[in-house]
Chain A
Amino acid sequence: MLAALLPHELLLVVGCGFVVGGLSGIFGVGGSFLLVPILHVVLGIPIEIAVGSTACQVLGPSTAALLARGVTRIQLRLPLIITGGIIMGVLLGTLILDAAGQLGKIQLNDRAVAASELLVLGTYLVMLLGIGSFSLYEVRRQFAGRPVARGALAKITIPPVDTFSELGVGTLSIPVLALFGFVTGVTAGMLGISGALLLIPGLVYLLDIRSRKAILASLIVVWITSFLATISHAWQGNVDLALTLALMLGGTIGARIGSELSSRLEGRSLRSGIGWLSLFAAGLVLFQLYQLLK
């Protein structure tokens, strides 16, 4: 549960947390999607430990953010509905990761490859390529004066439906919200990400919720997701507390500096930055997959 990390390795982790926190502060996106590939590819930390510890460390900043904002009862409605799907999703995601871990090594291309590593890296690659390409496409469309259409999921009216006037949207289908939460939960449980990277674009583009309100809803969901993911991963013994603390320490300082740099950049640069950052992380993952399979 406490990996035998040497002091200089812990310092390296603090440094990674600092760099990722800085990038997160600049671009306004989650750090988890970068942390897992970096911890695994650069520092060689086993994928299950990297995923579990990253999920655990997210609880720190999300607790601080929720305390700083304060949340009213009505603001909890949508996040709690989504959470129904997320609970099942996180459990399933962690179980899938655990089952892949128990499969051990599989033969691919005449090489023995850990099934869990292949699953996590493969899913990461697809997700990062998708987010990176979408971000760049969205900026391009906006620049051309043809913004991306919003609210595809908001048009589905599977009953029961309810009105969410506090979010500035009309009626939304409860089963659709739960299913949206389920997909996010599976990804979060399996990859150790907080889910914000999927939640915010999902809430804004699929459910047509305004960015500011989507961020608060996502914040509440992220806290619940990371709380559940931490229980699940800690129970499997996949959390390293020393690693978690080192990540939180570096990340907090990095995010502070990054957010100050962020105020000097314009919105479009930030959004295309997110796209390139995702594609960079996808490149890291692709490199690791190549190393595994060559």
Chain B
Amino acid sequence: MSPFVSRILFVVACLTVPVVWGIIVNWVFHRLKTTVPVEDESQSESQDEPVIEYYI
């Protein structure tokens, strides 16, 4: 494989890994939120929302 192609593949991998990670994390949090009982939903929302955003 030429160095140019392997460089492009590496760039694609570097973009894919964190984006897929983000999609998985979002999916997991979404699942966790939907499994919380209805009466606790507002509380869980206020705690869940910053979890991801605060890390940026």
A contacts, CB < 8 Å to B: 1, 21, 24-25, 27-31, 56-68, 194, 196, 215, 219, 222, 226-227, 230-231, 233-235, 237, 239, 241, 244-245, 248, 251-252, 254-256, 258-260, 262-263
Contacts and interface: CB of A to CB of B under 8 A. Distances in A.
B54 A24 contact: yes
Interface in B16-56: 17-19, 21-23, 25-26, 29-30, 46-47, 49-56
A57 B56 contact: no
Contacts of A255: 51-52, 54-55
B10 A62 contact: no
21 contacts: A1-B10, A21-B55, A24-B54, A28-B50, A31-B55, A59-B15, A60-B17, A61-B22, A62-B56, A63-B19, A64-B26, A65-B22, A67-B22, A68-B52, A215-B53, A230-B11, A234-B14, A252-B25, A254-B55, A255-B54, A259-B51
Interface residues of B, number: 26
A69 to B, nearest CB: 8
Given A60-B21, A60-B22, 10 more contacts: A24-B54, A25-B51, A62-B22, A67-B26, A230-B14, A230-B15, A231-B11, A234-B13, A255-B52, A255-B55
